[in-house]
Amino acid sequence: MTHRYVYSVLTGLCAIFSILIVYGFVQYEQALTVTVHVDTEYEFVEVPGPIQPIPYIKQIDSGWQKLGKALFHSTLLSKDNTISCASCHNVHQGGEDGFPISIGINGSLGDRNAPTVLNSVFSFRQFWDGRSATLAEQAVGPIHNPVEMGTDFQQVIQKLNRSQEFVDAFTQLGVNEITPDSVVRAIVTYEESLITPDAPIDLYVLGNQSALTEQQKSGYEKFIGFGCVSCHQGVNIGGNLYQKIGRINVVPEKLLADKGRFNVTKNENDEFVFKVPSLRNIHQTAPYFHNGSVEKLEDAIRIMAIGQLGITLTDQDVADIMALFEAFSGQVAPEL
């Protein structure tokens, strides 16, 4: 009798705990979902060939953009007020931090290399494994990530409410109560302005034959001829598909510790699959690959040729592609 009594009490408790856990999880998920409307518009120009030019901005809400710039550079977005988005994404130095893996609050280390935020609005997914579909969804990640900013929106909004400058800036945009959506809307509007049009490669594909040097033209022919463009293509010269690292041949062991998209989908076919990264501004974004384990761009190029295409490049090929990569560099507007 007593056994049965204890048993039903235990079952009851289990049920209550499970409900609480599920409820907590749903709350957590809800806390991580934001819905924002951003009305930036671009003027895309389509050209023949695999590489497309960065478009110009047709319309952007400059009020939200300015507020977003302030938020992106504000350490109030981190738990101990030491880290801002810009700590890991320096927009005037390639849009990342130059470290193999990033350093967050209290010196904690993550496990991936900070990709550039420049032009990332043109990528089909965000993060190396594509786990966020949009910039809005992405922006929530670092704020909550314990090894990045280690906080949550409730704390961030409390702190923003204590800053007269931020309260005024939001009020001017018609926001009387700061919400996660309004914070994210501002950050995303700013990120959407972080683009680098008019790089030499853009001018070249738009028809200006003298935008590339002879060596860069030869690099361009090789980049196409070898098949790099089968993965690195479109507006971002990458950023529009998933591919496996070491698709044809072995790549260095150090690139195979992280299973990439598999961590998100648990699907065996996704082992070692990553979003093909953009090669724009690649000279400014060393070190390379998802864990920043390759320091030199020349080495990254050789690893790609062998691992992804099964070919060994000559020194001349590498030099030509290096030269071409210079033509992938552009600038964000100086006031950003």
Q: Does 91 bind ligand HEC (CB under 6 A)?
A: no
Give the H/E segment covering residue 41. Answer: strand 41-43
User: Which residue type occupies 38?
Assistant: V
Among 94, 104, 200, 330, binds ligand HEC (CB under 6 A): 104
CB 308 within 8 Å of CB 243:
yes
CB 285 within 8 Å of CB 95:
yes
CB 301 within 8 Å of CB 328:
no
Q: Does 323 bind ligand HEC (CB under 6 A)?
A: no
What are the Cα distances from residue 212, in Å, to 34, 86, 204, 290, 333?
43, 32, 7, 29, 22
Question: CB-wise, 19 or 161, nearer to ligand HEC?
Answer: 161
- Asked whether the CA dihedral 34, 37, 40, 44 is positive or negative, the reply is positive
Instruction: Choose one: 26-34, 48-56, 152-160, 223-231; the region binding ligand HEC (CB under 6 A).
Output: 223-231
| CB-based contacts of 238, cutoff 8 Å, min separation 6 | 123, 231, 232, 276, 277, 278, 279, 280
Instruction: Choose one: 4-12, 21-29, 121-129, 152-160; the region binding ligand HEC (CB under 6 A).
Output: 121-129
Among 66, 69, 79, 232, binds ligand HEC (CB under 6 A): 232
Instruction: Name the minimum Å distance from CB 229 to ligand HEC.
Output: 8
Residues 278-307 that bind ligand HEC (CB under 6 A): 279, 282, 285, 288-290, 300-301, 304-305
Q: Does 117 bind ligand HEC (CB under 6 A)?
A: yes
Q: Does 98 bind ligand HEC (CB under 6 A)?
A: no
Q: Find the farthest-apart pair of alpha carbons in the chain and give their distance in angstroms, rounded.
A: 92
Rounded CA-CA distance 289/112 in Å is 9
Q: Does 205 bind ligand HEC (CB under 6 A)?
A: no
Question: CB-wise, 88 or 201, nearer to ligand HEC?
Answer: 88
On the 0-12 / 13-18 / 19+ scale of CB atoms within 10 A, 165 is exposed
Residues 156-195 that bind ligand HEC (CB under 6 A): 187
Question: CB-wise, 11 or 295, nearer to ligand HEC?
Answer: 295
Instruction: Choose one: 7-15, 49-57, 81-89, 326-334; the region binding ligand HEC (CB under 6 A).
Output: 81-89
Q: Does 128 bind ligand HEC (CB under 6 A)?
A: yes
Instruction: Name the minimum Å distance from CB 187 to ligand HEC.
Output: 5
Q: Does 274 bind ligand HEC (CB under 6 A)?
A: yes
Query: Phi/psi of residue 46, each to 5°?
Result: -95, 130
Q: Does 201 bind ligand HEC (CB under 6 A)?
A: no
| CB-based contacts of 325, cutoff 8 Å, min separation 6 | 219, 279, 282, 283, 297
3-state secondary structure of 294: strand
Instruction: Name the minimum Å distance from CB 215 to ligand HEC.
Output: 15
Q: Does 65 bind ligand HEC (CB under 6 A)?
A: no
Q: Tokens representing 182?
A: 């309004």
Q: What is the DSSP letter of 80?
A: T
> Which spans of this chain sit near ligand HEC (rule: CB under 6 A)?
77, 83, 85, 87-89, 102, 104, 110, 112, 114-115, 117, 120, 123, 126-128, 135, 138-139, 142-143, 148-149, 187, 226-228, 230-232, 243, 245, 247, 255, 274, 276-277, 279, 282, 285, 288-290, 300-301, 304-305, 308-309, 321
